[in-house]
Structure 1
């Protein structure tokens, strides 16, 4: 059984978040957590927290299985653009430049590797 966790309206640009999300896509959960722990980017702790939430959601649905016995893998990670706040910054000669403050939505899906292999 797969489980997912979604975090919406994270105040980081989707492009910066995707750089870190690409590192954990397809990895085992234990390795993905270790990767995120030592990444210097500001997006890494946010993805770490969402991944832990996805693992907790999986554990909630599979109470009979121990988390240590399960071979969890990060099946899917995607980062979609969220709402964009538009602000104005003063510019020379009475003009204004538009500043776009981007946000994103993160979705992480984890699955048991043994179950994922049976589906194919």
Structure 2
């Protein structure tokens, strides 16, 4: 039997991400905050997290800030156009400690951890593409759209092109 190769997701030029692993908090408590900021712009998410009273806000704030810094430094993204496209919280390992109790017994303390992934997308690419596609003739336009379809941008650009 031939082993199947693991399919890798193609890296997008307009996306940047940050991953926080083994963050010491319950995944349910982190999801409560993540659900509030999913789909927001970068600046709006920072403002929301600044005003929320939960303990999970600070690590998520740091991750969003880190993802934006990664995009600005490595891929030259513009912070004004960054949007949170994907924000997910997965369950991590559970740290176990023993607490001494009366009569020589011990009690197990379980500390849950979680893994948080934040993906930001830069929509300035679509604004530049919209300006470019208006300058291109009909035949060239179809060729550009066809070439971009194989680059992993086809559906997004098609939507962005027909949206405006």
TM-score category (smaller protein): 0.7 to 0.9
- In the comparison of the two structures, how many residue pairs are matched? 117
Of 54, 60, 69, the match for 1:47: 60
In structure 2, the residue matched to 1:25 is 38
**1:3-53 Cα shifts (integer Å, max 9, x gaps):** 000111111111111100111101111111100011100010110110000
Which stretches in structure 1 are left out of the alignment for 5+ residues? Answer: none
Task: Flag the structure with larger Rg.
Answer: 2
Of 105, 109, 112, the match for 2:115: 105
Larger % of helix: which? 2
Tell me how large the CA RMSD over aligned residues is: 2.2
Alignment of 1:1-120 (within 5 A): 1-63=14-76, 65-68=77-80, 71-89=81-99, 97-114=107-124, 115=126, 117-118=156-157, 120=159
By relative contact order (CA 8 Å, sep 6+), the higher-ranking structure is 1
What TM-score do you get using the length of structure 1 for normalisation? 0.83
* Residue 95 of structure 1: how far off its partner (Å): 6.4
Tell me if structure 1 keeps the 8 A contact 2:42–2:79: no
**1:34-74 Cα shifts (integer Å, max 9, x gaps):** 000111000101101100000011112332x5434xx1100
Q: Secondary structure at the match of 2:79?
A: coil
The 2-side partners of 1:86 and 1:66 are apart by: 43
Question: Residues 92 and 50 from structure 1, CA distance in 2 versus in 1: closer, same or farther, beyond 3 angstroms?
Answer: same
Question: Residues 5 and 87 from structure 1, CA distance in 2 versus in 1: closer, same or farther, beyond 3 angstroms?
Answer: same
Question: Residues 76 and 66 from structure 1, CA distance in 2 versus in 1: closer, same or farther, beyond 3 angstroms?
Answer: closer
